[in-house]
Amino acid sequence: MTALLVRGGRPLTGRIEPSANKNAVLPVLCATLLTDAPVTLRNVPEITDVIRIVDFFGQLGSTVEWDKSGKRLEIDHSTISPQARATLPQAMRASIMMIPGLLSRLGEARLEHEVKGCTLGAREIDPHVAVFRAFGADVGQAGHEIVFRATGSGQATRMWLEYASVTTTENFILSALTVPGTSQIVNAACEPHVQEMCTFLELCGARILGKGTSMVSIERTGELGGADYTFTEDFHEIATFLALSAVTGGDIAIRNQHPEHLTLIDRTFAKFGAEVRHEDGWSRLQAPSELKVEGNFTSHLITKVEAAPWPYIPADLLPIFIALGVKAQGQMMFWNKVYEGGLTWHTELSLFGAHTLLCDPHRLITFGGNHLAPATVTSPYIIRVAIALLMVASSIEGESTILDADPIRRAHPGFIDNFVALGADVQWGD
């Protein structure tokens, strides 16, 4: 059990540079399996899932050189033997995005039935199976494994997703680059990290039209080449540090090359009376004297924050706004339209003295402005929930303990170092 000891009540101030987006880094790593040409990736964070993928590449026979201090990763898959066999790592959801590359290279891939990830709710595999079958793969079961086999009959296709799933969209794009012709996906996910994977693939020679929209066309114009690509800053981490500024009464600026990704996020901060400013490549939030939920003109409705697939507020960011709702004067409804298990952690907030009401598995109301006191709380295996509990603890004078806080390291290797650099008193414990 990994705990964080937090001595709160200090305004956080300063400037920091965020890490790259885990949700962009992992699919790009998986996408490198589609080319035999050398690839150089820069600004690569040293996080658990990256380590697992790099280890897996080594087992396959890839040549990998990782300068961790320089955040540079050089990959060459041309050394993989056609006789190599692959059972994908079970401990991360991103494993499933290596299947297109493995089918193209080895003709077969195996996956454990229960792929792990954050405990947000049901994460079904069936949409991915539908994608692989649409591109000609045979999918069956063998004991505790799902076996994927290439049949050699794959061809370009058009698919309309029932739901704008990020990983399903990414798997469709990767699979489309293993067959000749132009494929099209309708109701595609369009999150910034999906766009970033497309940008990398374009550098490798893919032709992709419509990235950032719900209708994307993909064409492989020949063998994919190599690329030298630098990951951009993680908009999740940017928003999180801005929220830390607001909740602690601080003043934080964070490097941000793409403020256009924060337009709706900025409006959501404004619902709590906090203003985000973007200038010269930096995003800054100077906390107001008091966080207060803005009222509705429709007076009988509670002000709300709705989380759904992009361009809505991302469900991954909902916990940080719930932390603001706990501190702000007034009532706020939070609506998670993605995961049925994304709000059950609210009971931990009551240990601080917060007042919340879970209406159903998808909607939560916070009644903010209550006196909060230090507490020992336990984080579920959800990255942004661990951070939300850290946010609340940081806003309270006295010492709090967050148990099972290790998920923070899954996405943000330098998060706690940055946190301390801003003036926080926090340390890892056993």
What CATH number is associated with residue 408? Answer: 3.65.10.10
Per-residue pLDDT band at 123 (split at 50, 70, 90): low
362-391: pLDDT as tens digits: 999 999 989 999 999 999 988 899 999 999
Which is more confident, 122 or 317?
Answer: 317
d(CA 415, CA 115): 26
What residue numbers bound the domain in which 385 lies?
3-19+233-429
Nearest to 18 by CA among 242, 215, 220: 242
Residue 163, CB half-sphere, CA atoms under 13 Å: how many? 16
Same domain, 172 and 98: yes
Count of domains for the chain: 2
Same domain, 272 and 176: no
Same domain, 221 and 255: no
* 38, pLDDT greater than 90: yes
* 204, pLDDT greater than 90: yes
Same domain, 114 and 259: no
Instruction: Decide: 374 and 402 in contact? Cβ < 8 Å.
Output: no
Spatial CB neighbours of 371, under 8 Å, sequence gap ≥ 6:
353
* 168, pLDDT greater than 80: yes
Same domain, 14 and 89: no
Same domain, 302 and 366: yes
Q: Return the pLDDT at 113.
A: 67
Same domain, 335 and 257: yes
Same domain, 332 and 291: yes
* Secondary structure (3-state) at 403: strand
Same domain, 198 and 256: no
189, 207, 230 — which closes off a domain?
A: 230
Same domain, 261 and 287: yes
196, 230, 264 — which closes off a domain?
A: 230
Nearest to 19 by CA among 319, 419, 388: 419
What is the rounded average pLDDT of the residues 21-35?
A: 96
Among 64-68, 193-197, 379-383, the range scoring the smallest mean pLDDT is: 379-383
Instruction: Decide: 39 and 74 in contact? Cβ < 8 Å.
Output: yes
Per-residue pLDDT band at 48 (split at 50, 70, 90): confident
Q: Return the pLDDT at 117.
A: 46
Spatial CB neighbours of 367, under 8 Å, sequence gap ≥ 6:
331, 355, 356, 357
185, 207, 230 — which closes off a domain?
A: 230
pTM, entire model: 0.92
Residue 325, CB half-sphere, CA atoms under 13 Å: how many? 26
Instruction: Decide: 73 and 54 in contact? Cβ < 8 Å.
Output: yes
Same domain, 72 and 189: yes
Same domain, 193 and 119: yes
Q: Return the pLDDT at 385.
A: 95
Enumerate the β-bridge partners of residue 87: 110
Q: Return the pLDDT at 40.
A: 98
Mean pLDDT value across the chain: 93
Residues in the chain: 430
